[in-house]
Amino acid sequence: RKEVEQDPGPFNVPEGATVAFNCTYSNSASQSFFWYRQDCRKEPKLLMSVYSSGNEDGRFTAQLNRASQYISLLIRDSKLSDSATYLCVVNIGLYNNNDMRFGAGTRLTVKP
Amino acid sequence: NAGVTQTPKFRILKIGQSMTLQCTQDMNHNYMYWYRQDPGMGLKLIYYSVGAGITDKGEVPNGYNVSRSTTEDFPLRLELAAPSQTSVYFCASSYARVTHTGELFFGEGSRLTVL
């Protein structure tokens, strides 16, 4: 089983749609959770952290379910500029409390 | 605002050749990392460093070496390149442990092909 698993997609949605991505992780001792965004042939960039109580940043909402070892990202009112690959990232704290494990990513294309 | 700078951006190597990927950051970050990203796979940690003079292995260190003589620089050395090392390599840095902030600052990546 992969440490961090994501549906690879691609998700093709029209502008204005709501889309949700899911991620599961295998290490129950994982400490912290994040979503990164990676544009085509570019470097990953932090989108948002994921907190146990759930958190929102504009059109983006992240949820964490520690019991099910499941993370989600919801994007409302999709924009063309949201087209990217979304990486689920889990800090399992194995190496010196700083061990980030990346999912393979979910590709999103938002169409006019 | 240079951030994390990697060179070269592209390189083709022959099997058995060696090369060094350069990485430098101007943010005075203590932590630096090297990842590789293969198609359909998540980024894998090769080596990391928590400060000048200190390096340690990540998930996939075989075939690579690193050094950290200064806070700014963290070069990655490939000895005896193999086709399995064909990948995109990302250098990253962070100010401290990213347990809560999660923010790694990445360079633009180096695409390496071994033929």
Beta bridge partners of B7: B22
CB contact under 8 A, A95 and B98: no
CB contact under 8 A, A34 and B102: yes
Give the number of A-B residue pairs with CB atoms closer than 8 Å: 69
The 10 Å CB-count burial string (b at 16+, else e) for A43-82 is: bbebbbbbeeeeeeeeebbbbbeeeebebbbebeebeeeb
B90, B99, B104: residue with CB nearest A31? B99
- Which residue does chain A place closest to B101, by CA atoms? A49
CB contact under 8 A, A49 and B108: no
Amino acid identity of A19?
V
A4, A32, A102: residue with CB nearest B100? A32
The dihedral through the CA atoms of B57, B10, B28, A50 has a sign that is negative
Q: For tokens 């894998």, what's the residue?
A: B44
**SS3 (DSSP) at B15:** coil
In tens, the pLDDT along B79-108 reads 999 999 999 999 999 887 665 566 899 999
Q: How far apart are CA A103 and CA B19, in angstroms?
A: 28
Q: pLDDT truncated to tens, each residue of chain A (112 aa)?
A: 788 999 888 999 999 999 999 999 999 888 889 999 999 999 999 999 998 888 999 999 999 999 999 999 999 999 999 999 999 999 887 655 667 899 999 999 999 9
Q: How far apart are CA A19 and CA A73, in angstroms?
A: 8
The pLDDT value given to residue B95 = 81
Q: Are B37 and A42 in contact (CB under 8 A)?
A: no
Q: How far apart are CA B36 and CA B63, in angstroms?
A: 13
